[in-house]
Structure 1
Amino acid sequence: MRSTLRRISMAAVAAMAVLTAALPGTATAQGGQEQQGRTYYVATSGSDRDSGGRSHPLRTIGRCTDLVRPGDSCLIHRGTYRERVTPPSGRAGAPVTLAAYGDGPVTVDGTRAVTGWKAAGGGLVAADVDLPLARDENALFLDGGRAMEGRWPNSGSDPLNPSWAVAERSSTDQHIDDPDLPDGDLTGATVHLWAGSNPWSQQTGTVTATSDGALDFKGGNYRCTPLCMGNQNYRNYYLVGAKATLDQPGEWYYDTGEKRLYLVPPKGGMAGHTVTAKYQKWGLDLSESSHVTVRGLGVWGTSLRTGEKSTGVLVEGLRARYISEFSTLPMPRDDELAIPPGEGHIVASRVLDSGVQILGSGNTLRDSDIGFSAGTGVLLRGSGNTITNNYIHDVGWMGSYTPGVEINGSEHTVTHNTVRRTGRASIDTAWQLNGVPFKDNRIAYNDLSEAMRTSRDGSPFYVCCNLDATGTSIDHNTVHDADGQVGYYIDNSSSQFLLHHNVAYNTGTRGTFFNGHSGVSLGNRDHNSTYGLGVGTAVRLSGATDATGTYFSNVVGLAPVEISYPIRPPWCATTWCHRPIRSTPTPATANCGHGPGPPQSTRARRSTA
């Protein structure tokens, strides 16, 4: 109910924003002051040789952005605009505004039509086309729906519910044995791995040789174990990007050498069907812009980004679909990481180069609907940015650490968002990406559900690693109905997190987990939170060599609180539980610095703190 009401509210606000944008001659600054400037009009029936007046609209948004100055507006009539939009900067109090006119959807489309299909033998058709993106970032759409790149085994249309092959236990870190492998040459295909003893991230490699029931590949992670193929608990994989895998209608393969696109046609042939291919990674590119308002626009097969120096950008009422597409998980550059290569390469893959990106300072994304990304939904990076009242969904299906919302930096506000159906976390914070400080952030009133659909070791709200979150509050959030292990996971020696008035249910074995991971877990607090059905432990603190300042109080739950070795004092846990507190402290010393130590009684009790 809460999620539904939020979406209704979001839709209503977005609709009001579009209607406001329709008022000719008026642009509204981010601070709410009306700024009078010139208004240009854009329509698919217009001409870029015209003046841009109401009766003589321009044809392209790009021509309008060539003309506008601070305080000016582009009002855009309904239609599809296949172009890359790069607006100039406005000024504080006089933004440049790009807004839907209000007579129907306005879509910046990052795709172009593919025509000239001819029979190519073997039941395939082909078209000669020079696709400009990297091979692993290509995307194809058939009759307005995402077309599946040729893969084995075949899978359904939902990328967050993929089909996997399972390798034999005789496989090794760079070799797969599987008697069910398809016939044909698979050399050059991408092998997507979800393998290991406890695979907390997926990875990809390239097939180098194939034989009957076996293949060799290069790539993936050299950390064996835990992340490798072989005699492991998980040996899942699939193949993508080989012509030999084309065997069901709608599947495609692009030969980069021949610049030829192959397709299994729909039943009955290509007559009456439309195919488009992705051409633009950033259709709304504000990477060099500040003080720009984008209101009521849509993007399809492309995305929006601001830049590291952007400020005063307001994006509201955005409808984004199929924002990022890729089929490989490359190792990031060493200079993108704050930790040694290896493990960090995998967890950081594609986090920084996918999604709608709000970078810089003092920028806002609100009242928007963002869906369908192989990677990140929204990347928040810099300082003092706001993401509020958005619906973010169906993202992160490649199974790396790309979440619904990635938060890097300080003084951000992430509130009242609904994040649903993610491959891994709904909201993720990651120090390993350049070691950016994480201070004074507010993450509150978010509804996070159906997370961890392509991973198991993680949570809807996930923190990694070694973060000092001084001044940060995680409060009034609800996480529920997720795979994985935990509702709120403060992992790998992160400290100074304040959690309060949060809710978790149906989230695995724990509500909140403070994991020292053989290091410290300092000053972490959880107060007045509620942990319901489907949670094995309300709060767990473990693996910390020092938990000074850690304090839990007034936790309401149907499961115990657990504190386990090797913790040094002082710590404090006072709880209202339907089940007892369970603790295994170090002898006679694990206490709050005053009194006899943690309770051993099996009776529930209520805190007076």
Structure 2
Amino acid sequence: MLLLAQQSLRAQTVLYVSPTGNDQQKGTLQQPYRTLQQAVNKAAAQQGTQVQIQLRGGTYYPDSAVLIQAGAFRSLTIAPYKGESVTLSGARPVQPQWEAYKNGIWQAKLPLDVAPDRLFINGKPMHMARYPNYDSSARILNGTAADALSEAKVKGWQHPAGGYVHALHAGEWGGMHFRITGKKGDDQLEMAGGWQNNRPSAPHKKSRFVENIFEELDAPGEWYYDSSRQVLYVYPPAGVSLQAAKIAVAGLEQLLMLKGTKQKPLQHVTISGIRFEHTARTFMRTDEPLLRSDWAIFRGGAILCEYTEDVTIRQCVFTGLGGNAVFFSNYNRHGSVKDNHIFNIGASAVAFVGAPEAVRSPAFRYEKFVPWNEMDYTPGPANDNYPAECSAEGNLVHHIGETEKQSAGVQIEMASDITVSHNTIYNVPRAGINIGDGCWGGHMISHNDVFNTVLETGDHGAFNSWGRDRFWRPERRIIDSIVAARPSIKFLDAMKPTVIRNNRFACDHGWDIDLDDGSGNYIIENNVCLSGGLKLREGYGRVVRNNILVNNTFHPHVWLANSGDIFTRNVVTLPYAPIGMEHWGTRIDSNYFLSAAALEAAKALGGDAHSISGAPGFINAAGGDYRFTSSAPALQLGIRSVDDHFGVTSPALKKIAKKAPVPTLLVKAMEVAGERKEWLGATLKNIETLGERSAAGLPDQSGVLVLAVAPGSPMAASGLQKGDVIRKLGDNAIATVTDLLQAYQQHRWMGRSSAVIIRNQAEQKISLLLKTAD
């Protein structure tokens, strides 16, 4: 035993790195290396040992991404020395000699081999000169303008080449980006780009802005680099002295590359406790289509893993990145991203994306199809070049997709058996979790807390998926006919069920759970959906059971014949919202409705013969506890309480993670005479008496009376007053408090909405602020 212990000790090697070290030294604590790359190179030669690379505190500025390849070591761990604060930065410091230019702008000669993509002052990112100016309160793209490419604007730009045009997709299905390459005449731009979205369209006519245009340098916090003259121009933020400030420019797109080979995967590497920041943006490199999903990608991130096994990335911080944080590309097994904090980044937090060569009969656009006589009918992948049995667990992810709007907290594509659990994900422009195809299922999505989603785009969900597998076509009758002839074709790609279990989802501008085009072989159970309900577009083999749909409902869209779909033992607030339904699956029954009217509407569709309705019986809906009391009638149907342990589990991350907003429950059956409700700082009640109608000067007994408005609340900021009667919100007529809250569910993602009120017996319009400060 003693001999084994001695051999184990001899099999461990510790190498040290310090910002003040020297790569010609021995790599000891007293004589550390200066660069991580040197330590990694030395580690690769350690035959059969467990190597630890310990980084002394400080910031490291690698000249290029640190490359870790398969070596002779048994395992490799890279972590800070004794908990010291360690940062890897993709930006490097510069020391410009500033001179005043004009109008508050400063200039400095700054010779650079490549024009910088990002500028940081005292660690904070500045904005390329842009129109319209950056507005942190603007919902879309931090400010947009329909005239961003107007003839008048373009005429005023002398040398716009090198500028960028950013816009939403015309259908709001993500974003797109163009680089300005030149100018024809006075008012016609030449541009390249738009490939970032795999469902091509023209740029959105209104949701667009331009940047990196010298003539638009007119606001504090903006900058511009003139490549031809190698001059940096900066309009410093208020109170910032450029002469005393720390200036850095971003050049690196990636910081760590963990790359093995097909013949020799990189194994047993752990990255722990490191801060990754300030990489360059990658939006113009996002040009690889992902099968027939709406996505295109750049295979890279602050950390890229390719051909690896047993890689763990834990307790790290990823912030201020221009692109993705962690990307598992092609073959990876047992990769783990655990207990990290990922925020303020340009694209996706964690991505698991396999190689198209692993897909049988792949097609690469929504409208492209493999002919039936050329299709491979063999189930499953063609080879093993994809991520499998990997996980993203316990991560706190927020404020991502700051540049790339087709992004997600976790993205899964051409992968198998991925676990996504106990993550808290919020403030994202599109989905919190996205699965782009049916290849090859087996994923477990559990105990996540996902909210404030689809904030800048549309037609999507907090959880979103596409199927569009090899047999899929937009024309349902074609699918029905081919599946009738070849029933086994349904699960050639979606071989294993994907399970979505015990999550809490909220989406105000779409669906909480959105299974889109052809998503098949799903088990969806024990989830709490707080806002947008649950949508199932056409697909096969979906089982939806024991979910709580707060303030919304079930959205079945254009189902296929013989789908085998089941919707049972769910709690539903509002009437079902079917679209284009000719076939209703195997079973829709034994659901519990919070409204008798909603139940009757469901029965009129031909199902729910054994469903019942009544009071919800939640323990504390106002506090967000949707578990059932022991006497709740829903228990009679076999519905059971949902485990409410959502989101991150690390004590450190739990302290700083935000909580999903708890909505006011919409249940007409709960409204009783004189009942009052609190809403965004206003105390409300229904107009219920002839006296109330007369006092307000109403033409009928419809409307919501404002009894009080709390100072400093959103309603106070909107100018709402005691005694006002709300009659309309947006296009929705308001007869009761329930109507108002239901309309609020539809409009709150906008931040503001027009309203019609009665004040002093006269009708007037008012703009209401529909959400509290972030």
- TM-score normalised per structure 2: 0.60
Q: Relative to 1, partners in 2 of residues 1:294 and 1:221: Cα closer, same or farther, differing over 3 Å?
A: closer
Matched, 1:151 2:157: no
Match of 2:317 among 315, 319, 330: 319
Structure 1 residue corresponding to 2:531, chosen from 494, 503, 506: 506
Residues 261 and 157 of structure 1: CA distance in aligned 2, closer, same or farther (over 3 Å): farther
Partners of 1:495 and 1:157 in 2: how far apart? 39
> Hey, what does 1:355 align to over in structure 2?
325
Q: Which fold has the larger relative contact order, with Cα–Cα distance below 8 Å and residues 6 or more apart in sequence?
A: 1
1:384-463 matched pairs, under 5 angstroms:
384-408=389-413, 409-431=415-437, 437-463=439-465
- SS in structure 1 of the partner of residue 215 of structure 2: helix
Quote the Cα distance in structure 1 between the aligned partners of 2:602 and 2:547: 22
1:537-548 correspondence runs (5 A): 538-546=553-561, 548=563
Q: 1:398 to 1:81 in 2, by over 3 A?
A: closer
Partner residue of 2:174 out of 201, 209, 217: 201
Counterpart of 1:490, as a letter, is L
Alignment of 1:128 with 2:100, yes or no, is no
Structure index of larger Rg? 2
Contact 2:592 2:613 in 1 (8 A): no
Output the CA distance in 1 between the equivalents of 2:547 and 2:567.
9
Query: What stretches of structure 1 of length at least 5 have no aligned partner?
Result: 1-25, 27-32, 169-174, 326-353, 592-596
2:568 to 553, 556, 568: 553
- Structure 1 residues 45 and 217: CA distance shift in structure 2, 3 A: closer
Q: In 2 relative to 1, CA 394–34 (structure 1 residues): closer, same or farther, beyond 3 Å?
A: farther
Aligned AA for 2:66? V
Cα distance between partner residues in 2 of 1:601 and 1:475: 23
Alpha-carbon distance in structure 2 between the residues aligned to 1:219 and 1:162: 20
Q: Quick one: distance in 2 between partners of 1:127 and 1:492?
A: 53
Correspondent of 2:33 among 58, 61, 69: 58
1:97 paired residue among 70, 77, 83: 77
Distance 1:110 1:466, change over 3 A: same
**Which of 532, 553, 565 does residue 550 from structure 2 map onto?**
532
What amino acid does structure 2 have at the position aligned with 1:415? S
- Distance apart, 1:114 and its partner CA: 2.0
Please give the alpha-carbon distance, in whole angstroms, between the structure 2 residues aligned to 1:43 and 1:554. Answer: 59
Q: Of 236, 247, 251, which residue of structure 2 is paired with 1:275?
A: 247
Identity of aligned residues (%): 20
Q: Which residue of 2 aligns with 1:3?
A: none
Correspondence for 1:67 among 42, 45, 49? 42
Residue 368 of structure 1 aligns with which residue?
Answer: 340
Match of 2:164 in 1: 190
Q: Determine the C-alpha separation between the residues in 1 that align with 2:320 and 2:93.
A: 16
Instruction: Tell me which amino acid in the other structure corresponds to 1:397.
Output: E
Q: How many residues align?
A: 511
Contact 1:205 1:218 in 2 (8 A): yes
Aligned residue number for residue 6 of structure 1:
none
Q: Distance in 1 between matches of 2:269 and 2:142?
A: 43
1:86 aligns to what? 67
State whether structure 2 residue 48 is matched by structure 1 residue 42: no
- Paired residues for 1:561-576 under 5 Å: 561-568=576-583, 570-574=585-589, 575-576=591-592
Contact 2:132–2:145, Cα closer than 8 Å, also in 1: no
Given that residues 131 and 279 in structure 1 are in contact (C-alpha distance below 8 angstroms), is that contact kept between their aligned partners in structure 2? no
In the TM superposition, residue 158 of structure 1 has moved relative to its aligned partner by 7.3
Structure 2 equivalent of residue 475 of structure 1: 501
Which letter maps to 2:405? Answer: S
Distance 1:35 1:512 in 2: 57
Instruction: Say yes or no: does 1:298 pair with 2:275.
Output: yes
- The residue aligned with 2:93 is 113
Relative to 1, partners in 2 of residues 1:385 and 1:600: Cα closer, same or farther, differing over 3 Å?
closer
Counterparts of 2:59 and 2:11 in 1: how far apart (Å)?
28
| Counterpart-to-counterpart distance in 2, 1:400 and 1:34 | 50
1:286 equivalent in alignment to 2:292? no
Gapped regions of structure 2 (runs ≥ 5): 261-265, 280-300, 354-386, 470-492, 615-633, 640-774
Asked if the contact 1:155–1:163 (Cα under 8 Å) also holds between the matched residues in 2, the reply is yes
What secondary structure sits across from 1:315 in the alignment? strand
* Higher fraction of strand: 1
| Displacement of 1:248 | 1.7
Paired residue for 1:14? Answer: none
What secondary structure sits across from 1:63 in the alignment? helix
Q: Which has the higher helix share?
A: 2
Q: Which position in structure 2 is the counterpart of 1:254?
A: 225
Is the Cα–Cα contact under 8 Å of residues 70 and 259 in structure 2 kept in the other structure? no
Counterpart AA for 2:112: D
Cα displacement (A) at 1:157: 4.9
Partner of 1:7: none
CA shift, 1:558, in A, is: 1.8
